Amino acid sequence: MNRTFPTAVILSFALCGFSFAEPPSDEGKPASSNVPGQAYPKIDAEGRAAFRIPAPQAAKVQVRIDRTYDLTKDEKGVWTGVTGPLVPGFHYYSLLIDGVETADPASETYFGSKWMHAGIEVPEKGVDFYDVKNVPHGEVRQKLYFSKTANAWRRCFVYTPPKYDACPTAQYPVLYLQHGWGEDERGWVTQGRVNLIIDNLIAEGKCVPMIVVIDNGNIGEFRRPQGKDANKKPADAKAASAAIEAGLAESFRPFEKVVIEDLIPTIDSTYRTVPDREHRAMAGLSMGGMQTYVIALKHLDAFAYIGGFSGGGIGIDGEFDPKISHGGVMADAEAFNKQVRLLWLSVGTAEGPKFYEGLKKYRDAVEKAGVKIKFYESPGTAHEWLTWRRSLHEFAPLLFRCDDSSSDNSPASRREHRRGTGNR
Amino acid sequence: MNRTFPTAVILSFALCGFSFAEPPSDEGKPASSNVPGQAYPKIDAEGRAAFRIPAPQAAKVQVRIDRTYDLTKDEKGVWTGVTGPLVPGFHYYSLLIDGVETADPASETYFGSKWMHAGIEVPEKGVDFYDVKNVPHGEVRQKLYFSKTANAWRRCFVYTPPKYDACPTAQYPVLYLQHGWGEDERGWVTQGRVNLIIDNLIAEGKCVPMIVVIDNGNIGEFRRPQGKDANKKPADAKAASAAIEAGLAESFRPFEKVVIEDLIPTIDSTYRTVPDREHRAMAGLSMGGMQTYVIALKHLDAFAYIGGFSGGGIGIDGEFDPKISHGGVMADAEAFNKQVRLLWLSVGTAEGPKFYEGLKKYRDAVEKAGVKIKFYESPGTAHEWLTWRRSLHEFAPLLFRCDDSSSDNSPASRREHRRGTGNR
């Protein structure tokens, strides 16, 4: 279910409770996202989640997850119910106690939609790329830094790869990775498991050891792109797209200043980075993808790799015109293709037409203009974290693979980049 | 209010709602512990917290904090109420929606009493030792390590002081710092603000730069010390105390093995520590204080500094006998005083007689036996995080001040220890 951009469809589910046709089943194992010691929610082999909420004084208890389910009260005042089969991966969910939406006390909590949501992890059979495995692990560091442009102390998280401390001369490329609307710098660590995904990729020799920096993009006011006008006749659509681009640029200006003037200099002076564009990537999900396209395409002197996961392009429904869009940076496709090592866009096939068709339309227009863009579709996933975990898992191996044309002349760095595998 | 060890007194408050005599006031500022954008709860100048919960379908809405308050519903279905003046510092709190205890969606969440509690930060006038200040900041690193004794990957947090990366030859002493019952390794970072407290102390030249390691002590089954028998006649009291000690030792054995066999070797091989007892401290709060006394007094070859915050000694009500208690390690007081650089115990004056009198009784008995023990009382605070923030603030400056008798011969380490201040 789309938690990041609520839509009328979702709202209608939320308003009318879904009743169980079948008597609730109670098979399964406690969700790995439960706090220790909590038996419920349980997930069964088909991905159905069983809930059990003691609430003798409540008149109605519901669970909101892929839709809203009414639970059933027994004689002891315990409310139970089982969902339909859920898509694998991480889902935000809520309890509604007599209409009040709260986090399930049985669950860990995750900052999403601007509050500390409950979340449930539905296992994906045979898939372990985001699990803790018996491989060398990097660290996730909480870094406080002073932002002159925001005049405030800010927090970011910095993933350093295995052996970062043990190889004190190695230098590393950096991926700047952003969360979506309603989330913050914790998202990629707790919901996204970025450290485990990169640890596992490095261990398999599938991506080069890199630093990943995750900042808080909630600075300034994000106004969602107004896409309605984009469906008007061509002249109006162009004007609407220009308005969308201008709105995004203005929304993201304070964050752009933080990234370019404060964050990158802080990271480059604190960590052993290779401080040039050929060793710097930016990516983000949903709103973070839009921020990435706005900021990185404006600062190609700073970034050579650009990724949007379920977001990017010109918002979701702007019309791409190579001469106008992104300040005309793609007008000379050949020059752009030479300068930008990777332009990437991804989407879940179950995100709904707005995202799925919108982002594919952008991809088609960009390709038609002769610009190289990699496009990845996550099968069966919605505007949710499994789409973004998979996107990172596909995107990261493509980064910093430009040894032949690299401007990095540091032998230590080249050695580290080439090693690929990370033995403990 | 005591959230860590619920008592009958608290339960009675919880069962009977407290009604407001005065019409609710609505002054104040949003609590700093709210998620961004939430105006409520607000804290006024007297430390009273005002709540505002939209819940038109609920029959009863309460807030449980220092006691349980019934909120009042207005014609729009919004429930409001104001608490009495709250003690400064961090308090866990809950909403009760028709009797279901949940986290307030307006609040950040904190793992306490085994679930993701809401929490509220009540400002303390003129006190900023745990605030983000314009000083150099260390990092908090999430470290995954494999524990052979537990046969599992475990997570700890490692605070590294400012300049840790910038001074690649400096070596640092290490404080192992433990959370209380129902909490985990996140407690000292989120509720305790250990990084800010140590950053500020280092900046003021009040403590030596140190590494702080915070692990998860919830391994094995913690059975609370059964203290009732300790009030019987002397012979029985001795037997009861021995039983308490044996119970604690057994409860904490799995964690003891993790600390001694897995954690310390991991930290010493991963970070630039001074790997000897003179540069190693252990402290903890409540259950973590008991773990500290059990583990560190048994392993004096590993630790020279020992602290219990609202916990330690022989549980809370065991009777100290120098010949028997702690395996008789204090029987020769002079030798003990020479070997142990610091034995520390602290308690909040509002923790109630069980903790306050119990721990003072232990202090008195230890002193009577000729053993040096530092005792700190936190004025006006209960079995809560302000007691523990203050305890850390008093305890940390006393650590690793033994340059004259240090076994550390590393010039880099000595230089770092002596510098004290941390310029950016």
Mutate to test the interface with B, among A70, A101, A135, A144 (most CBs of B within 10 A): A144
pLDDT at A13: 33
Assembly ipTM: 0.89
| B318, B239 Cβ separation under 8 angstroms | no
Q: Which residues of B touch A59 (CB under 8 A)?
A: 57, 59, 98
| Residue A226, pLDDT score | 57
Query: Can you tell me the distance from the alpha carbon of B338 to that of B401, in angstroms, rounded to the nearest whole number?
Result: 14
| Residue B149: pLDDT over 80 | yes
Q: Which residue of B has its CA nearest to A58?
A: B98
Distance of CA B103 to the CA centre of its chain: 21
Of A99, A103, A132, the CB nearest to B56: A99
**What is the spatial distance between Cα B422 and Cα B413, in angstroms, rounded to a whole number?**
14
Q: A32: closest CA among A190, A150, A156?
A: A190
Mutation site, B64, B78, B115, interface A, largest A CB count within 10 A: B115
Per-residue pLDDT at A237: 81
Contact A102 B98 (CB under 8 A): no
Determine the pLDDT at residue B424: 30
B81-117 core/surface letters (b: 16 or more CB in 10 A; e: else): bbbeebbbbbbbbbbbbbbbbbbbbbbbbbbbbbbbb
Residue B263 CA to residue B147 CA, distance in Å, equals 8
- What is the C-alpha to C-alpha distance for residues A11 and A303, in angstroms, rounded to an integer? 39
Print burial letters for A33-46: b (CB count within 10 Å at least 16), e (below 16).
Answer: bbbeebebbbbbee
Closest CA–CA distance from residue A201 to any residue of chain B (Å):
17
Mark A312-329 as b/e (b = at least 16 C-beta within 10 Å). bbbbbbbbbbbebbbeeb
The answer, yes or no, to whether residue B417 has pLDDT greater than 60, is: no
Tell me, what's the pLDDT at B115? 98
What is the distance of C-alpha B326 from the center of its chain?
A: 22
CA distance B424 to chain A (A): 11
Comparing CB atoms, the residue among B36, B97, B270 nearest residue A98 is B97
Contact state of B116 with A103 under an 8 Å Cβ cutoff: yes
Cα A117 from Cα A187, distance rounded (Å): 12
The per-residue pLDDT for A12 is 32
Question: Omega before B168 cis (within 30°)?
Answer: no
In this prediction, residue B232 has a pLDDT band, given cuts at 50, 70 and 90, of: low
pLDDT tier for residue B228 given thresholds of 50, 70 and 90:
low
The average confidence (pLDDT) of chain B is: 88
Segment B190-203 mean pLDDT: 98
Answer yes or no: do A55 and B115 touch at CB < 8 A. no
Predicted pLDDT at B95: 98
A75, exposed or middle or buried, with CB in 10 Å at 0-12, 13-18, 19+? exposed
CB-CB contact of A196 with A121 (8 Å): no
Query: Cα separation of B372 and B342, whole Å?
Result: 8
Place of tokens 């395996």: B327
Within chain A, which residues score under 70 in pLDDT?
A: 1-26, 223-235, 402-424
Please judge whether B153 and A132 are an interchain contact, meaning their C-beta atoms are less than 8 angstroms apart: yes
Minimal CA separation from B78 to chain A, in Å: 11
Q: Which of B100, B134, B158 sits opposite A58 (nearest CB)?
A: B100
Confidence (pLDDT) at B226: 57
**Residue among B54, B58, B116 whose CB faces A109 most closely:** B116
Average pLDDT over residues B226-244: 70
- For residue A225, cis peptide bond before it (omega within 30 degrees of 0): no
pLDDT number for residue B64: 98
In this predicted structure, the answer to whether residue B234 has a pLDDT above a threshold of 70 is no
Residue B238 has a pLDDT of 84
pLDDT at B367: 98
Classify A28 in phi/psi space as left (phi over 0), alpha (psi -120 to 50) or beta.
left
Q: Which of A73, A132, A141, A157 is the best residue to mutate to test the B interface, defined by the most B CB atoms within 10 Å of its own CB?
A: A141
Residue environment code for A254-263, b if the CB has 16+ CB neighbours within 10 A, otherwise e: bbbbbbbebb
CB pairs under 8 A between A and B: 130
Q: How far is A153 from chain B (nearest CA, A)?
A: 8
Mean pLDDT, rounded, for B358-378: 97
Q: Calculate the CA A180 to chain-centre distance.
A: 6
- For residue B288, CA distances in Å to B185, B315, B382, B399 come to 11, 11, 17, 18
Interface touch A97/B98, C-beta < 8 Å:
yes
Instruction: Give B14's pLDDT tier (boundaries 50, 70, 90).
Output: very low
Residues of chain A contacting B37 with CB distance shorter than 8 Å: 114
pLDDT reported for residue A47: 96
pLDDT at residue B222, rounded to an integer: 73
- Confidence check: pLDDT of B26 > 90: no
3-state SS, chain A, equals CCCCCCCHHHHHHHHCCECCCCCCCCCCEECCCECCCCCCCEECCCCCEEEEEECCCCCCEEEECCCEEECEECCCCEEEEECCCCCCEEEEEEEEECCEEECCCCECEEEECCEEEEEEEECCCCCCCCCCCCCCCCEEEEEEEEECCCCEEEEEEEEECCCCCCCCCCCECEEEEECCCCCCCCHHHHCCCHHHHHHHHHHCCCCCCCEEEECCCCCCCCCCCCCHHHHCCHHHHHHHHHHHHHHHHHHHHHHHHHHHHHHHHHHHHHCCECCCHHHEEEEEECHHHHHHHHHHHHCCCCCCEEEEECCCCCCCCCCCCCCCHHHHCCCCHHHHHHHCCEEEEEEECCCCHHHHHHHHHHHHHHHHCCCCCEEEEECCCCCCHHHHHHHHHHHHHHCCCCHHHCCCCCHHHHHHHHHCCCCC
Distance between CA atoms of residues A215 and A218, nearest Å: 9
Contact A114 B59 (CB under 8 A): no
Q: How confident is the model at residue B225 (pLDDT cuts 50, 70, 90)?
A: low
Of the listed ranges A231-245, B275-289, B321-335, B371-385, the least confidently predicted one is: A231-245
How far is Cα A407 from Cα A88, in angstroms, rounded to an integer? Answer: 41
